Structures are given as C-alpha cells and as structure tokens.
Amino acid sequence: MSVTELPTAGMLPGGPGEGVQVVIAGDEFPTQEMTLSIGPQHPSTHGVLRVVLTLDGERIDTATPVIGYMHRAFDKLSEVRDYRQIIALSNRHDWLSAFGNELGVALATERLMGLEVPERAQWIRMLMAEWNRVLNHLMFLGSFGLELGAMTPMFYAFREREDIQTLMEMATGARMHFTYCRVGGLKEDLPKGFLLYSEVLVKRIRHRLLDYAGLLLGNEIFKKRTVGIGVLPGEVAKSYGVTGPILHASGVAEDSRKTEPYLKYSEVEFEVPVGEHGDSFDRFNVLYHRIEESLKIIEQVHDKLPPGPVMPGKMPKYLKPPEGWTYVRTENSLGETGYYLVSRGETTPWRLKMRTPSFHNVSMIPYLLKGVLLPDLIAVLGSVFFVVGDVDR
Amino acid sequence: MIFYHFFSNPWVVFALKLAAVFIFFLTAPLVLGYVEHKGLAHMQSRLGPMEAGKFHGWAQLIADGVKFIQKEDIIPDAADRHIFALAPMVVIIPVSLVFLVIPFGPASVSCHAPAGAGGCGFWGENFDVGIFFVLAISAISVIGMLMAGWSSANKFSLIGAIRGAAQLIAYELPLVLAASAVAMQAGTLSLVGIAAAQDSYWFVFPQIAGFIIFVIASLAELSRPPFDMPIADSEIIFGHMTEYTGIRFGLFLLSEYAGIVSLSAIAVVLYLGGWHGFLVPWIPGPIWTLAKIGALSFLVIWLRATYPRLREDQLQKMAWKYLIPIALVNILLTMIFKVAF
Amino acid sequence: MTPDEIASHLTEATGAIERSEVAHGEVSVWVPNDKWVEVATHLRDCGRCHFDFPTFLTAVDMEDQGFEIVLHMYSVRRQHHVNVKTQVARDAARLPTLSGVWNGMNWCERETWELFGVDFIGHPNLVKLLLPVEFEGFPLRKDFLLMTREAKEWPGMKEPAEVEH
C-alpha cells in the first residue's frame, strides 16, 4: 500500500485539491501471490520434474525444483553388482543417449585395471557415442519446438530418431538401452550392412537438418520467444557445475573431447560450437550445430575404422580392479558424465559415484527463472537440457 | 402448381433454411476437423486417422462425437456447477448463429418467396446490419471462456481464461476496424450487399492490408496457433477447457472448428468476393463460396503446423501497436478514396 | 600443471595439506576438517591453479575410519583436476559448508547429507533432495542394507559379492 498526495501544481492554494492524501493500494490493484506447482505430471517438464513456483500474476518470484521422483539408488545398487551388471544399470540414466553412460563405467574400470582396449573397439565406441549424441540432440530440438507450440519439428525429429534407432538395433539388438559396451571393448563386432546404413543415414539427416533450420532457427516467432530469454552468464554457469551445450552457449568452450581426448577423439577433426549470449536461442543454436559436428565425426570414423578384434584376447573371468580410486569423465550429450570409482579389489565396487550433468543443470534452474514470465518458463525449461533419470539416478 | 405454392410458403422456406444452416453447422466443422487431422499428419510425415471407417479413417470425427456423447459427466468437486455446465453453451450458441447470415450464393431469380422468409437466395436471413450482427454475436463467446476458466476451480484453467479474455478483447478491435473499412467500401452493412458489390473486383485487392489484419485477428479470436496462448497445451494443459470431459468438451471443440468455418466464411464474403467466381463462370455461386471457405480454412490449418506460439504480451503488443493503427489508416485511406473517386 | 605440481603448489600455498597421492594420472590431497573452507576458497581464488569448476562433492564410507568426503575440482582455464579429501568421524560427521564458495555445492551437499548423514554446518537449506521426506536412515552407509535383501530372502543367484573366487 502506498500513500501519495495529489499534485498541487496548477491548483489554487486553498482550493479543493490541495493537500488531499490519496491511498493507493499497491501500484494498481492489490494482488496475491499464487503458488503453482508445475509437474510432476506436466507436458513440458521432460519427465517427472516438479518446479514449485510462486507467481505474482504471470511473473515468477521464486522457483524451486523438486527432484527425486525417479531416484533408483544407482549408487547403492552398484555396490552389490559386478561390473558387467553395472553397465546394464548405468544406461538407464540418460536414456536418450544410453551408450554414453555405459562408456564411462567401462572406461573407469579399464583405467583402474590398466586394460588395453583394441583399436577397433575404440573407434566403434566413438561411432556409437556420436550417434547417441545425435539421438539425444534431435529429441531436444523437437521437444523444444513442441513446447513453444511448433508441433511439426517434433515429428520430424522422431522420424530421424526412428532411423537411427533402427541402426542401433542392427548392432546392439536394442532401441534404447543398448548394453553394448563391455569392460575391455564391446559385446560383439558390427553386423554386415551397418556401416552402409550408417553412411546413408548421415546424408539423410544432414539433408533434413535444413528443415529444422527453416522451421525453427529462422522463424521470427521462435526467435522472439527465445532470444534474450533465460540468459546464463558463463561464470555463473561454471560455479553451478553446468556442462555441455548449456555451458557452451554461455561462451565457455569446455569440452572433454577436446581438452582430455579419450577414445580416438584426438584423431578426428571437429569443432565445438560456442554461443555468445547464453540465452535460450543460443542453447538451441549450439545444439543444432553439435548435431552437424557429430555427423562429421561419424563420417570420419567410417573412413578410418581399422579391422581387428573388439575385445582383448585374454580377459580375466571375473573383473577385479585392484584397490584404488579414479575419476573418469566423458563428454556425454547433456554434459560431463563422470564416474568416481573406488575399488577394494573385489568384483563389486566399494563406491561408484555417478556425476551426472542433468543434476547440475537442474540445480541452476532457480537462478534462471527469477523474474521470468510464465510462458517464458516453458521456453527456459525447454532449453535446460536434462533427462530426469540422469538427475535422480 | 402445388410445388410452386409449397416452396413459396414462407414457413416452409424458413424451415428448410433453418435445417440447411443447422446441417451445415454440424457437418462443416466435422469435415474441417478431418481435413485438419489428415493435413497436419501429412505435413508432419505421418498418416493421420486410418482406422475409423476403413477408408483412410473418414469417420474418425463421427466416432469422436459418439465417444464424447457416451462419456461420464464429471464436474470437479470444487467447481461452480451451474456456471461450469452453462459455459459450453455460451461459447457455442453465438458461433452457430453466425451461420444464419452468411450468404452462400446470389439471389435466385426463380424464387418467389416473400421477404418474410428471409428473402431469396442461399442464405438464412439477410440483415441490413449483417456484419454488425456477426461481430457483435461472436464477441459473446469471450464470456463463455471466462465462465469456463473461473468455474473450473483449477489454476491452469484460470490462467488460460484470463489470457483468453485479454487476447479476445484486444483482437476484437482490429477485426471490427477491418470489417468497417469493407463496409465503407461496399456502402452497406448487409453481408449480401457486400458480397454483391464485389462483382467487378474482389475487395481483397484494394483492402489487402485489411484482409491480412482480418485474417490475423480472426486467428487470434479463435485461439488458433500462432495465437493459442489461452489454450497453450504444453503449458497450461488446455486452458479453460482443462476440466471438461464428454459432450461439454465436444461442444468446445465443435465451437472451435465451427468458429474457423464461420470466420473464414465472413472473410470470404467480405474480401474474397463471396459467390463470385473467376475464369470458370458456369460453376454455381455456392460452390465457389464453399471452395473459398475451404481454402482459407486450410490456410488456418497450415499455420498451425508451422508456427510456434506468441507470448501474450507480444500478442497484445502486436494488436495494440501494429494492427490497430494500420487498420485505422486503412479506414482513412478507404474514406479518402471513396470520396475522391 | 601436472598432478605433482598441483600437490606441491597447494602444500605451499595453503599449508593445510596433510598428505597427497598421485594415482592413474590424478592427484588427491587430504585436508583436515577445520581447513576445509580455507582450502576451497584458495582453490577458487588462486590465479595459478584457478579451480573454478566444481565437479562433484560426495562421501565414501570407510567403515571404521569414518567417511571420506571427496571434492573434485576442475579448472577450465588450466585444464587440470584435483581431488580434495577430508576425513570425518562416523559418529560426529560434520563439515562446514561450501555452498558459499561455489553455487553448485548446494545440491551436492544436500545429497551427501541425506545419503550419508554428514551434517554441513551453515548450509542454507539442508532438506531431502532425492529421497522422500518420510524416509528414515542414511541409505549409502555400509550398515544400511539394500532393502530388497532385507525384506525377502533372495532365492536366486548369489550376489557377486558373496560368490567365492
């Protein structure tokens, strides 16, 4: 409630208006803050994420993410499962690019055991990881458009994903949870026809990506909804532990494929797209260009794939990494996925901590959402790339 | 002779017209809905309904209608029962009334029915203030939207209803201003008169700005993408219609599609020459009208497949800062040209 | 900076490092509890080692020796890692909070608290993050058995940990 006096300028002193006090409630009408809970069932929250908002009209005062609806105790389970079983468990986290999770477990165990992974297995792992990245990014391209109201890119994205999932099924037998990686290499070699279909798909998807550019990136309304919305400065992103396309869009080019190349990333050429402003449009733009870069890497793998075995010759019957600890990180589609593995020489880990990118991306949401309008909430949430299984583990 | 007497009886003509309008009101939205299903589907690289009715799912919407009718009538506990039940009526009845005045074809020379039956010609009633009637009636649905949103006792519905009320009120003005420029151009408020006045050239040519404004404003009136913030199904589930099920929900959907048809029809009459054809003069007037309504409705569907939605403050900005000034300038220019030439 | 250089730089600069170890190309330094925040602040502010990116904070149950809290830091500018570890006693598991140093530590510490029971003094919002509010106990402690095994005798294959080899 504020108290104002009527202006006396132009009024005769002693006249009817002088010195009258007017009480105005608030600035316009008295309003009440509304608490709105977006989710856990909501079309736009990519799964069971709940965000509790306090709204003033349509402007958000505070936003609190409530997570844990999908907590499946991966850390605890991995203490009673051996390394092969853990690989099957791990790919349930970022299920849009499942192979990336498996890769981290295998790399961590191999590092502790000092195993040499055959060349061919490393190249194929890279191929699979990049296809998974394309799968993941296509999904977010489609769903972001859908949340803003553009229905069509979603269907196109799923058409592409269907093709890629068919490709994955040829090699691994599964469309989503691949369980293809093994400690030491891969489950089995690629089937006949895989590389041919992979080449066909690269061309097809590259051609169809132009549709997305037209429908979304070049669209006036899309730009109006996303440019300048949800700006995340680079320093803030770093202090939250945010990684992946979001960090790149905020201007920080931290990609562990470039800084600490694992597998064969040092032998392929690719760029890391970086944004300028850190707003939703930049995040989306970075995602789009990352797909193009992944397709480039896949093409190079096609050319450079050497023949050979996919598992080392002599593997111990039971995997028992020696006592010690290590942290291995991979640049998964959503960001940096890391495994902190503590082993005491048994067939099961003593402690396996999975550091997931979505956990940190979601922790940054209260910062992004302060003072944002309700429809912009959707634009912002859609541009924070997370998968709920990754957040809750 | 008996035939002649039968059809010149005003009550018979009246009943026939009423039946025709009613049938059109029920079937045109169904056809449009089916075209939307299939059109959207093919644009999105999928097939659309294929099962209901064996041949490419032509009976899908009829099946939907039957489904809606047989559903359980659920009213939320905390909802205001009477207003909740009344809201769909308030939304759909005005839309149906619009069809009474749309002229589908020219006055037929062989008809001898007296004026009491609404006059001769392919229309329900020929009001002298036709366009005024249409715009006034179609504004009543806003109240229905507010009633639905408030009585649902659901925060998402409330947000949707408030957005809808703000949007629909804002876009009434460009609609009215654009239509009044046409009325000025034709020299009459009667829809039949406006359609008849387009025999030499369609009004879309001198009034191209007005046409674009009218189409944009009617998209916003109907809450169709890119202006579907009030419904916004990825944010507020379904806006004011969230809590509705069964036939009430069916009536809301029917009103949306009927609204598309009716506003397309109005646009056709105002701008696209009504029943006048081009190139092929032997096709009768009503066919031309239906074809044009179909084309405009397809444009509406096409826009849905393509564009994301505008935020409501951007929407309001567009209405108040762009559409209304341009519409006013349009009226001014029409006035000047009418007086000068 | 190589792992050894990081260890020696930190020992010199903070004077609070108990011991350090390099294994598999990574360095771990052990810090006493009372110097936890001091070392963390140094890591953030030091222009030479420049650790600006908190990767994760978690705990490892070392049974009799208590919990080992592990903070993994990364430097975007210098591209090197460090593990900063400290030991807390099992029955007196508390540590000052780092959520004032880096924002990302807020949720990591909440998670460590609810799974291990390590109290973070000064944390602004120490409530359950992943677990339901009614949950009792600290699940990741070694004495907290996996519930399915507690509730019902597992009729199938033996756990990998139980098989003798």
pLDDT over 80 at B8, yes or no:
no
Q: How far apart are CA C89 and CA C16, in angstroms?
A: 19
pLDDT classification of B264: cutoffs 50, 70, 90:
very high
> Which residues are CB-neighbours of C159 under 8 A, at least 6 positions away?
A80, A348
- Interface contact A152-B233, CB threshold 8 A: no
Given a cut of 70, whether residue C84 has pLDDT beyond it is yes
A84 vs chain C: nearest CA distance in angstroms?
11
Q: Is C70's Cβ below 8 Å from some Cβ in A? A: yes
For an interface test with A, the pick among C2, C30, C53, C162 (most A C-beta atoms closer than 10 Å) comes out as C53
Using CB atoms, pick whichever of C23, C52, C146 lies closest to residue A238: C52
Q: Domains in chain A, please, with CATH?
A: 9-66 (no CATH), 74-392 (1.10.645.10)
- Pairwise CA distance, residues A123 & A298, whole Å: 10
Nearest to C58 among A254, A318, A340 (CB): A340
Of A64, A351, A358, A368, which to mutate for an interface test with C (greatest number of C Cβ within 10 Å)? A351
The model's confidence at residue B243, banded by pLDDT at 50, 70 and 90, is confident
Cis check: omega of the bond before B226, within 30 degrees of 0 = yes
- Write down the mean pLDDT value for chain A: 84
Is the bond preceding A40 in cis, omega lying within 30 degrees of 0?
yes
pLDDT at B151 over 70: yes
Q: What's the pLDDT at A2?
A: 39
Quick one: angle between helices A280-304 and A194-212, nearest 10?
Answer: 160
Nearest CA in chain C to A346: C161
Asked if A275 and A251 count as a contact pair (C-beta separation under 8 A), the reply is yes
pLDDT value for C164: 56
Largest Cα–Cα separation, chain C: 58
For position C157, what pLDDT does the model report? 61
Least confident of A216-225, B166-175, C84-93, C141-150: C141-150
**Cα(C49)–Cα(C79) distance, integer angstroms:** 9
pLDDT averaged over every residue in chain B: 84
Token reading at A219: 């669209």
pLDDT tens, position by position, B124-146: 777 888 888 999 988 898 898 88
- Residue from A49, A64, A71 whose CB has the most chain C CBs within 10 Å, to mutate: A71
Distances in whole angstroms, Cα of residue A36 to Cα of each of A58, A65, B90: 11, 12, 29
The predicted pLDDT at position A165 comes to 93
Q: Is the pLDDT of residue B2 over 70?
A: no
Percent of chain C whose pLDDT exceeds 70:
88
Which residue from A minimizes the CA distance to B230? Answer: A375
Gap between the Cα atoms of C23 and A114, Å rounded? 12
> What does the pLDDT read at residue A30?
60
The answer, yes or no, to whether residue A132 has pLDDT greater than 90, is: yes
pLDDT at B118: 56
Which of B36, B229, B235, B237 has the most A C-beta neighbours within 10 Å, making it the best mutation to test the interface with A? B235
In this predicted model, what pLDDT tens digit does every residue of C17-70 receive, in sequence order?
A: 888 888 888 889 888 888 888 888 888 888 888 888 889 999 998 888 888 999
What's the pLDDT score for residue B258?
A: 92
C62 in reach of chain A (CB within 8 A): no
Average pLDDT over residues A55-60: 78
Residue B262 confidence class, pLDDT cut points 50, 70, 90: very high
pLDDT at A37: 74
Q: Which residues of A touch C72 (CB under 8 A)?
A: 327, 338, 340, 355
Flag whether pLDDT at A29 surpasses 80. no
Sort out which chain C residues have CB atoms less than 8 A from A355's CB and list them: 55-56, 72
Q: Strands across the sheet with A59-66, in order?
A: A34-38, A50-56, A59-66
What pLDDT sits at residue B20? Answer: 87
Which pLDDT belongs to residue A147?
A: 80
Q: How confident is the model at residue A357 (pLDDT cuts 50, 70, 90)?
A: very high
Beta carbons of A360 and C70 less than 8 Å apart = no
For chain B, domain boundaries: 2-340
Instruction: Kindly indicate the confidence band of residue A45, based on its pLDDT and cuts at 50, 70 and 90.
Output: low
pLDDT per residue over A77-118, tens digit each? 888 888 888 999 998 888 898 998 999 999 999 999 888 899
On the CB side of A134, CA atoms within 13 Å amount to 32
The span from the CA of A63 to the CA of A304, in Å, is 49
Q: What pLDDT band is residue B217 in, cutting at 50, 70 and 90?
A: very high
Which of A68, A75, A85 has its CB closest to that of C131?
A68
Q: With H, G, I as helix, E, B as strand and everything else as coil, classify residue C135.
A: coil
Query: In the prediction, which pLDDT does A164 show?
Result: 93
What pLDDT shows up at residue A128? 92
Indicate the pLDDT class of residue C105, thresholds 50, 70 and 90.
confident
pLDDT exceeds cutoff 50 at B62: yes
pLDDT band with cut points at 50, 70 and 90 for residue A23: very low
Say which residues have a Cβ less than 8 Å from residue B298's Cβ, sequence separation at least 6.
Answer: B35, B39
- In order of A355, B132, B178, B216, C154, the CA distances from B191 in angstroms are 68, 9, 14, 21, 81
Q: What are phi and psi of B199, to 5 degrees?
A: -75, -30
| Average pLDDT of the segment spanning A150-162 | 88
CB A336 within 8 A of CB C34: no
Select from C24, C53, C161 the Cβ nearest to the Cβ of A241. C53
- The pLDDT, as a whole number, for residue A14 is 40
A355 closest CB neighbour out of C52, C56, C102: C56
Residue C124 has pLDDT above 70, yes or no: yes
Please, which pLDDT band fits residue A9 given cuts at 50, 70 and 90? very low
Distance, CA of A289 to CA of A287 (rounded, Å): 5
pLDDT exceeds cutoff 90 at B261: yes
The pLDDT, as a whole number, for residue A82 is 84
| Pairwise CA distance, residues A284 & A139, whole Å | 12
CB contact under 8 A, C146 and A77: yes
**Chain C adjacent subunits, 3+ CB pairs under 8 A:** A
- Give the separation between CA B38 and CA B42, rounded to whole angstroms: 6
C58 touches A: beta carbon within 8 Å? yes
Do the chains C and B touch each other, judged by at least 3 C-beta pairs below 8 angstroms?
no
Q: What is the pLDDT of residue A137?
A: 92
> What value of ipTM does the predicted structure carry?
0.88
| Distance from C-alpha of B11 to C-alpha of A20, rounded to nearest angstrom | 68
CB neighbours of residue B110 within 10 Å = 6
B28 by Cβ neighbours in 10 Å (0-12 / 13-18 / 19+) ranks as buried
pLDDT in tens, A270-327: 889 998 888 889 998 999 999 999 999 999 999 999 998 888 888 887 888 899 899 9
Per-residue pLDDT for A11 more than 60? no
Domains and CATH numbers, chain C: 3-162 (3.30.460.80)
Average pLDDT over residues A230-256: 89
| Per-residue pLDDT band at A13 (split at 50, 70, 90) | very low
The beta-carbon neighbor of A224 closest among B237, B312, B314 is B314
